[in-house]
A and B are shown apart, each in its own frame.
Chain A
């Protein structure tokens, strides 16, 4: 018997492990075991010989963005620089928890608030605060209750709720997304079963906005899907600090974008992940959204507090839908709730309370604005220093001003895949293959080194 078991062990590794398990269990009988070891051994043998029902599951590829940080960690070179990270770093390149957030958390603990379920739509005080922050407290759409706001799991969760809503209530309708866009946008629409296509956005020649291409594609982007006609797509727009390029339309360009969207009866769908973090001003960064709202347009806006309040891991955001009437807003909100309930029932309370406490207290709110200006300011300084270094080091007359024109955490350097690999392999600068760098991961001290790396990769590698 024993020899039979041993020979089987050589065939199937899981079976030999089962024997080990059996022996171990036998020595732990006093720990309240309910299974007789003999019957366990027999059952184990049967189970081990039958293969897994999930044998055919393939290994999924690692996430392209997170893989950069992992490679960085593995590197032992002392000059290494992590420009893949989409999270703010201090000048000392450390993660940053805002002081105002620590204060809020202490307050919450002192008050001894309870941990009851939130309503499906989230914390009411948070929903009120977040809509007012985005649209302005005096905005008619707020006063007239034409906004449906539902707390979501940061930007991703809010986008997903909206996508699920689109799939349900606008079956066959398409999402138009910029080329390029944040890598996860496509995954979200795919999983929500919302078809999508791209509009031109990034112009590699200018390292700027391909405005004509963008307008043209929004005008003519359509798909013939049985009875489906071209109008009424959901145009995904980055409210500010476009990710990954850092390239935003000018106010005049926003007006034209709104024109063509209205003309085609498309529905604007804003992703606002950097309000206040891009320019340092909450109002300035909301200008694009407010421009569309002022035209009386119905639209969707996904918000995130990951970056501007540094609440990354708390997963706090919201989906807002601006409608033409308060009754429609109430109905839309009820349907968003019906989509949230079978996904996670109700959203997490902690991040929502932090935001509500900060926004609801004038002192904390002011402090937040100051810290946000500081973060945005540091990034602007780093952009300036990088630009100055590039100009100083680069003997060619290449125009590096796009570094200054781009805004937010990210910059599209214009480096191609091979050049990016040179950045990593030769200079130990870790970044995503599309040429995106995170300025948040850069400090003044490293600007010169980075500019050397960029110049070398740009000029000496094809």
Chain B
């Protein structure tokens, strides 16, 4: 067994990384030191490129691993919650971490309409598994654009929209980010504070630099609208701005329609480029059209925008990785050129997207009966979540838990920003086996009538016993 190494530097600069190995530096060559220092510098400042650090040294010879300098990465904070949950053996454990819908019985759900669509696909003897085009399944792309922008969207009718199938929301954001980094003059994207934990990494690795704009107001547990307007107002003209189309993740706090209109006018007056993340269309309010209003308003004013769509939640297709990136441009000609460049981003990343999930979506969207069935199942999911909000709110009030918990019913979508701090969260995990992200976000989809009392107890205890 060859000795394991950690560089002394690694400990001081990046305490979040732990290596299970013991340190032993006596047999280091200076070359390995250089590489480790380069790595440490990278890890210490995650956003910066490692290219400006000292170049690599020769691989260490013989029995030593040339990968010895690789340290263990931390668990992804969001997905890591489920990992921790799975390790817990308590019968009372509750997973309010990752945003996947659960039934009242706490089970994952595959929509009936999805099963039907899948059965159709499997039964269809003429179906083959040939490579999709780089931009994905054509039907899926058309139908997805129509779903979010509206069937009567002028942008669509004028062929000013290019839509490419991508790997769910994440993949759409990444491809869009890479495209902007290569072809857009402003390489800064403004993201709301807070936002989904993966946004920063996605855009940074895509080659953009990330800044934030004020969004959540802890005092009101609502929108810091003034701060938002000020920050967007002082962003450099042309900067990219990430907007959550509905059901903001993690806060559940959305602008009102009037506020959206002000945001739109401000952004258009400063030529700020909108990049919508739409992961909950139909899932937030129960209505596909209502949840698309923010995007449609922007598209309707004739301006340009980017849009990442995901079918993970609203069609329950999480693991199939189905989504789309749409870019609305000024002219059909530009749209066509942009599409050709998107292909150059995709081809060296994964060549072409996976067929299964997109086929399910296309099957459902193009069939009137399946589409209607889908809207009904979608509304049922949204309604159950809204019901959980009310139950939790009522339960906390009945218990007399200190504080104003009305944000639970004012916020929308899968998540609630409870306002609990990391210490309180840790307490709830340790004492009550409640798993959630340390920012105080809980997934309402993971709650049921049966488990609301347990959560109420835990919150009450945390609020009264932990600062």
A interface, CB within 8 angstroms of B: 13-14, 17-18, 20-21, 24-25, 28, 31-32, 34-35, 40, 43-44, 46-48, 50-60, 62-63, 66, 87, 95-97, 101-102, 105-106, 109, 112, 114-120, 153-154, 156-157, 160, 167-173, 184, 187-188, 190-193, 225-232, 265-267, 298, 306, 310-315, 321, 323-325, 327-328, 330-332, 334-335, 337-339, 341-351
Contacts and interface: CB of A to CB of B under 8 A. Distances in A.
Contacts of B114: 115
A343 B154 contact: no
B423 to A, nearest CB: 27
Contacts of B1: 325
Given A169-B70, A191-B349, A337-B73, A40 B55 contact: no
B61 interface: yes
Interface in B344-403: 344-345, 347-357
A120 to B, nearest CB: 6
A91 to B, nearest CB: 16
Interface string B101-130: 000000011100011001100100001111
Of A21, A115, A310, most buried by chain B (CB within 10 Å of CB) is A115
A313 B129 contact: yes
10 nearest A-B pairs in the assembled complex, by CB-CB distance: A21-B154, A47-B302, A349-B319, A172-B55, A153-B350, A344-B167, A52-B330, A313-B355, A187-B348, A232-B59
Given A34-B297, A156-B349, A348-B354, A118 B319 contact: yes
B171 interface: yes
A267 B61 CA distance: 11
Contacts of A266: 59
A51 to B, nearest CB: 6
30 contacts: A14-B158, A40-B300, A57-B334, A58-B337, A60-B344, A62-B340, A95-B129, A95-B130, A117-B100, A119-B83, A156-B350, A157-B349, A169-B70, A171-B55, A172-B55, A227-B55, A228-B55, A229-B57, A231-B59, A313-B132, A314-B354, A314-B355, A327-B21, A328-B67, A341-B170, A344-B167, A344-B170, A347-B321, A348-B167, A348-B357
Contacts of B59: 231-232, 265-267
B50 A171 contact: yes
A321 B65 CA distance: 12
B152 to A, nearest CB: 6
Contacts of B271: 50, 53
Given A117-B319, A325-B65, A313 B70 contact: no
A314 to B, nearest CB: 6
Contact of B131 (A173, A313, A346): A313
Given A17-B154, A347-B321, A226 B348 contact: no
Given A47-B303, A169-B67, A228-B55, A190 B348 contact: yes
A265 B268 CA distance: 56
Contact of B61 (A50, A265, A327, A342): A265
B320 A348 contact: yes
The size class of the interface chain B forms with chain A is 35 or more
A47 B198 CA distance: 33
B297 to A, nearest CB: 7
A55 B334 contact: yes
Contact of B115 (A34, A112, A311): A112
A112 B115 CA distance: 8
B336 interface: yes
Nearest to B199: A342
A230 B54 CA distance: 16
Contacts, number: 326
B219 interface: no
Contacts of B259: none
Given A53-B238, A120-B76, 16 more contacts: A44-B302, A52-B331, A53-B273, A60-B337, A112-B115, A119-B83, A227-B57, A313-B354, A324-B2, A327-B21, A330-B72, A342-B170, A342-B174, A344-B167, A344-B171, A344-B321
A160 B119 contact: no
A339 B109 CA distance: 29
Contact of B319 (A32, A265, A348): A348
A290 to B, nearest CB: 20
A456 B420 CA distance: 79
A350 B357 contact: yes
Given A28-B152, A112-B115, A327 B337 contact: no
Contacts of A310: 129
Interface in B152-210: 152, 154, 157-158, 160, 167-168, 170-171, 174, 183-185, 198, 201-202, 204-206
B84 interface: no
B170 A54 contact: no
A116 B318 contact: yes
A296 to B, nearest CB: 8
Of A34, A118, A157, A350, most buried by chain B (CB within 10 Å of CB) is A350
B457 interface: no
Given A171-B56, A172-B55, A324 B64 contact: yes
A301 to B, nearest CB: 14
B42 to A, nearest CB: 7
A143 to B, nearest CB: 15
A160 to B, nearest CB: 6
Contacts of B343: 60, 63
Contact of B174 (A52, A62, A328, A344): A344
Interface in B1-59: 1-2, 4, 19-21, 34-35, 38-39, 42, 50-51, 53-59
Interface string B197-233: 0100110111000000000000000000000000000
B301 A40 contact: yes
A40 B39 CA distance: 53
A331 B19 contact: yes
A87 B122 CA distance: 21
Given A57-B341, A229-B57, A342-B198, A47 B321 contact: no
B317 to A, nearest CB: 6
A59 B184 contact: no
A95 B341 CA distance: 29
Nearest to B155: A21
Contacts of A156: 347-351
B421 interface: no
Contacts of A118: 319
B304 interface: yes
A344 B168 contact: yes
B184 A53 contact: yes
A324 B65 contact: yes
B348 to A, nearest CB: 4
Contact of A313 (B54, B100, B352): B352
A17 B161 CA distance: 14
Contact of B122 (A21, A106, A267): A106
Given A21-B158, A53-B238, A338 B73 contact: yes
Given A63-B347, A232-B66, A328-B65, A54 B184 contact: yes
A187 B58 contact: no
A349 B355 CA distance: 11
B129 A311 contact: yes
Contacts of A96: 128
B419 interface: no
Nearest to B127: A97
Contacts of B183: 54, 56-57
Contacts of A334: 72-74
B410 interface: no
B68 interface: yes
B466 interface: no
A331 B198 contact: no
A349 B108 CA distance: 15
A351 to B, nearest CB: 7
B438 interface: no
A261 B319 CA distance: 40
A225 B71 CA distance: 25
A170 B329 contact: no
A54 B109 CA distance: 41
B289 interface: yes
